Structure 1
Amino acid sequence: MFLRVNRVCCALQRFKSSSTGHLSKNFTSASHAAPNDVTVKPRTIFSGIQPTGIPHLGNYLGALSNWVKIQNENPQDRVIFSVVGWHALTLPQNPKELVASRRDMLAVLLAIGIDPKRSILFHQDANAMHTELAWILSCITPTGKLRRMTSWKARLAESRNANDESEVDESMLNAGLLTYPVLQAADILLYRATHVPVGEDQRQHLELSRDIADTFNRTFKGSSRMFPLPTALITPSKRILSLKDPSAKMSKSAADPASRILLTDSAAQIAAKVRAAVTDSITTGVTYDPSARPGTSNLLTILAACVDEDVHDVAARCAGMNHGELKAEVASAVEALVTGPRAEFERIRGDVGYLDQVAQEGAAAAYELSAQTMVQVRARVGLN
C-alpha cells in the first residue's frame, strides 16, 4: 500500500517540474489542442473489458475484432486497452479465480492480435490513479443521474426478481453497482481519451462520461479545458445472439453453457453447440428473417461474420440448404475463425513471464500518461 502511494507521489512531483513530461518511446503523443473536434488527429482511443471468463464468439465478433482493426488501421492514434479488474468487484468474485481470469483475459487479447508494441495494454487495477480520479469525479456527480442509469435499474430489477418482491430497498445492492459508471468515466478521462468504441448498451455510460467531463471543466476552470468530451467511436459489429435463446444476446452469464461458443472451445465442442442451436420448424430452405426465423437468422449472421460477407449474400448462397447443412457450414466457419487465436492463447497462457512483462510495461506506460493528468486535476481541485 505504502509503495503504491509513494510511487504516485513521486510521479506527481516528477511531472510538476515539466509541462508535458515525456511518453514512452513505443507510443505516439496525441494532441489535445482541440479536444472536441472529432476530426483532430491523432486521436486517443480507450476501451476496457472485464476479466470475467473467456470471451465468447459474440464478444469477439462484436467488439474485440474491432479493437484489432482500430489498432492496425490507425497507426497515428494512441490506442489504450485495459483489463478492468476493479469493475469486476461490483459482483462477488472468488479471489483465486479472479487472479486466473485477469491473466487469461490478457492472454486472450494478445492472442487475437492486440500488439503491446503498438497499443498500451494493461491491468486497470495496477494504477491507483483510476480510483483517485473516480473519487474526485464522484464528488461532482449527482446520485440522481446514477440512479437513472439503465445498468442500475437492471440490477435493481434483478434483485427484486431474485427476492420475489415487487419492492426492494436499494440498500440491498452494494454502492459499487451505483457508482461504477463514475469509475468507467475515470478510466476514460484519466487518459483524456477523445474516442471510445461503444456498443448500443454502453452509449448511456459514455454520455455520462461526457456530462462528468463537462461538469469538471466548468467547475474547475483553467487556461484550457481539462478534459475533452469523449466521442463514441462507431465501428461495424455483429450482434450475435444466444444459440439457445435467439431473443437474447450471447452472454457469458447465461446459465446454459451451450448457449455460447467460447474462443477456447475445441472443434468438437463448437460442432456440438452449433448442432444443438435453436432454429425453427421450417424444414425446407434457409432464409434470413430475424423476426420470423430468429434462430436460423442468427446462424446466418454468425456465418456471414466469420467469412466477412454480407448476410444477405450468405443467405442467398445457403437458400437450398436444410438446417443440418447450415449448421455444419456454420461450425466449419467458426472453427476456421478461432483455430488460430485458440492455439495462440494456449501458447501465451503458459508463458507467465511474458504475460507479467506485458502487464508491467503496459502499466508503466499508462501510469506515465495518467500522472500527467492527475498533476493538473489535483492542482485544479486544490489538492496540490
Structure 2
Amino acid sequence: MRGMRCTSSRVVHDLSVTRRNRLLGAGCRARASSTTSEGSAGATSEGKKEERRKRVLSGAQPTGILHLGNYYGAIRNYVDLQENRDAFYTIVDLHAITVSHDPKELRESTRTTAALYLASGVDPKQATIFVQSQVKAHTELSWLLQCATPIGWLERMIQFKEKSRKLRNMEGDDEEEVKRRSQESVSTGLFTYPVLMAADILLYRADLVPVGEDQKQHIELTRDIAVRINDKYGGKKWKKRGGRGGRVLSVPEPYIPPVGARIMSLQDGTSKMSKSAENDASRINLLDTPKQIETKFKRAKTDAFEGLEFGNPERPEATNLLSIYQLATGYNKESIMRECGSMRWGEFKPKLAEAVIASLGPLQSRYNELVDDPAYLDAILKEGAEKASGVAEQTVKDVKDAMGFLI
C-alpha cells in the first residue's frame, strides 16, 4: 500500500521491541493485507485467490475525555473487531470544529484520544488508526457528495435539529432573537456534517460501521447517498464513458453490538451517557481517579424499589448500573442476580465502583506511558494517515472518474 516506506515508519520500527510490547501488548498478530478496490481479491503464495476481509470503519470526536460508554459500548468492540476485520479507526477532528472550539485544546485532545485508543488495546499492527484531517480525501469526497445530496435529506436529520436547538438556547426569547441567534451560532458545517460523515465511511468502502441506536439515521443517509451516486453515475453509464463500470461506492451496513452499545447517564437512566452533557457527574470519564469514580457512583440516581433487577422499564437506572457492573466484571446476568439481586443500593454502589476502578486500571497505566512520548503517538498517527490515504485516494479517483472529471 502507498506510503509504507516513510519516515514515520522508520520512527515506529526503530522503537525497541521491549518498549513496543510494554505499550501495546505482546503477541499481536500481524495485520492481513487487504486490497483497496471493491470486490477485489489478493493472491496467495500458491497462486490462489482469497477474498479480502470485511472492512470496518468507526471513529470518535476529540472533544472531551472518552467515557465509560465510549469504552464499553464502542472501543472494546473495536479491539475485538480488529482481530478478524480490516479495521480503520479515525479521530474525526473535522467534525469537532462544527461548533465553537479551542484550537490548543483540539490538538491536545486529539493526542489524548489516540492514546486512549491505543491504551484500550487498539493495535496499529492490526488496525489503521489515523486523524481525519490528515487524510485530505475526506474533505474532497465530502464536497462531491454534497453536490449530489438533496438538501431535504439533511433537513430531516435529528441530531442537527437537537444540536442547533441547543446552540440557539431558544427558551424565553422572541422570534426575532431566535432567528438572529440561529444565523450567528449555527454553522453551515453543523448542517452538512452528516455528508462529511458519509464521506468518512464511503472513502474506505466499509462493509460494517459500528454504531449506537442513535446513529442509525446517519448510516441510512450514507447508504442513500451511496445508492444515489451509483444510480446516477455508475453501472453501464460509467462503462460507456470508459470507466470500470459497476458500483462507484460500496453500500455499508450498520453493526450494532449486542452488549454495551448504549450506556446511560448516571443521572438519568433514559439518556445516553455523553461527553457533551453539562453535568460531569453524569458520566465516568476514562481518566477519572478512583476517588472520582467512587463519588460519582455514590451520587448516581437510583430508585426506592426493593432489591436490584435487570430489564424493568420502571427502573432504567437499575438496569444501567447493573449493566455497567456486567461489562466491568464479565459476569453473566444470572450470576450477577445471584450475587447482587437482594442488595440495597448502599451496598451495591461501592461494589460497582470497585469493579469499574479495577477494569480501568490497566488502561490508565498504559495511557500514562503513551502520553509521555508524543513523538511516538504522532508517528503512529502519521503512518496510519498514509495507509488510509492509499485507500481513500483510490475511492476519490473512482468517484471523480464516474462524475466526469479529468483524472
TM category, shorter: 0.7 to 0.9
Bigger drift between 40-49 and 362-371 goes to 40-49
Counterpart contact for 2:307–2:341, Cα < 8 Å: yes
Q: 1:85 to 1:289 in 2, by over 3 A?
A: same
Letter in 2 for 1:80: F
Letter in 2 for 1:210: R
Residue in 1 that maps onto 2:269: 246
Letter in 2 for 1:208: L
Bigger drift between 315-324 and 225-234 goes to 315-324
Q: How does 1:1-384 map to 2 (within 5 A)?
A: 28-30=33-35, 32-33=38-39, 42-72=53-83, 74=84, 77-165=85-173, 168-169=178-179, 171-172=183-184, 173-221=186-234, 222=238, 223-238=245-260, 239-282=262-305, 284-384=306-406
Letter in 1 for 2:136: A
Letter in 2 for 1:279: T
C-alpha separation in 2, matches of 1:64 and 1:304? 16
C-alpha separation in 2, matches of 1:261 and 1:106? 19
Shift of 1:84: 0.4
> Structure 1: where are the runs of 5+ without partners?
1-24
> Quick one: percent identity of the two aligned structures?
41
Q: 1:290 to 1:52 in 2, by over 3 A?
A: farther
Counterpart contact for 2:40–2:52, Cα < 8 Å: no
C-alpha separation in 2, matches of 1:108 and 1:271? 21
Counterpart contact for 1:49–1:83, Cα < 8 Å: yes
C-alpha separation in 2, matches of 1:70 and 1:317? 31
Shift of 1:93: 0.5
Shift of 1:274: 1.0
Shift of 1:312: 4.7
Residue in 2 that maps onto 1:11: none
Counterpart of 2:87 in 1: which secondary structure?
strand
Residue in 2 that maps onto 1:14: none
How many residues are aligned here? 352
C-alpha separation in 1, matches of 2:222 and 2:396? 17
Shift of 1:288: 3.0
Counterpart of 2:94 in 1: which secondary structure?
helix
Counterpart of 1:53 in 2: which secondary structure?
coil
Counterpart contact for 1:50–1:88, Cα < 8 Å: yes
C-alpha separation in 1, matches of 2:358 and 2:380? 28
Letter in 1 for 2:291: A
C-alpha separation in 2, matches of 1:232 and 1:166? 41
Q: Deviations over 1:184-219 (max 9, x none)?
A: 010111111121111111111011111111111111
TM-score, with normalisation over the residues of structure 2? 0.82
TM-score, with normalisation over the residues of structure 1? 0.86
Counterpart of 1:288 in 2: which secondary structure?
coil
Letter in 1 for 2:317: G
Q: Deviations over 1:311-360 (max 9, x none)?
A: 35413321222211101110111011100111111110111111011011
C-alpha separation in 1, matches of 2:268 and 2:395? 45
Q: 1:137 to 1:247 in 2, by over 3 A?
A: same
C-alpha separation in 2, matches of 1:340 and 1:261? 16
Shift of 1:246: 2.0
C-alpha separation in 1, matches of 2:365 and 2:394? 39
Counterpart contact for 1:27–1:119, Cα < 8 Å: no
Counterpart of 1:353 in 2: which secondary structure?
helix
C-alpha separation in 2, matches of 1:160 and 1:123? 30
Q: Deviations over 1:158-184 (max 9, x none)?
A: 245445347544535211111000000
Counterpart of 2:82 in 1: which secondary structure?
helix
Counterpart of 1:243 in 2: which secondary structure?
coil
C-alpha separation in 2, matches of 1:34 and 1:147? 37
C-alpha separation in 1, matches of 2:143 and 2:183? 20
Counterpart contact for 2:61–2:91, Cα < 8 Å: yes
Counterpart contact for 1:288–1:312, Cα < 8 Å: no
C-alpha separation in 1, matches of 2:148 and 2:366? 44
Q: Deviations over 1:49-103 (max 9, x none)?
A: 100121111111111111111112x1xx311000000000111110000000000
Counterpart of 1:237 in 2: which secondary structure?
coil
> Structure 2: where are the runs of 5+ without partners?
1-29, 42-50, 239-244
Q: 1:86 to 1:114 in 2, by over 3 A?
A: same
Letter in 1 for 2:34: S
Shift of 1:378: 1.9
Q: 1:242 to 1:346 in 2, by over 3 A?
A: same
Counterpart of 1:232 in 2: which secondary structure?
strand
Counterpart contact for 1:51–1:84, Cα < 8 Å: yes
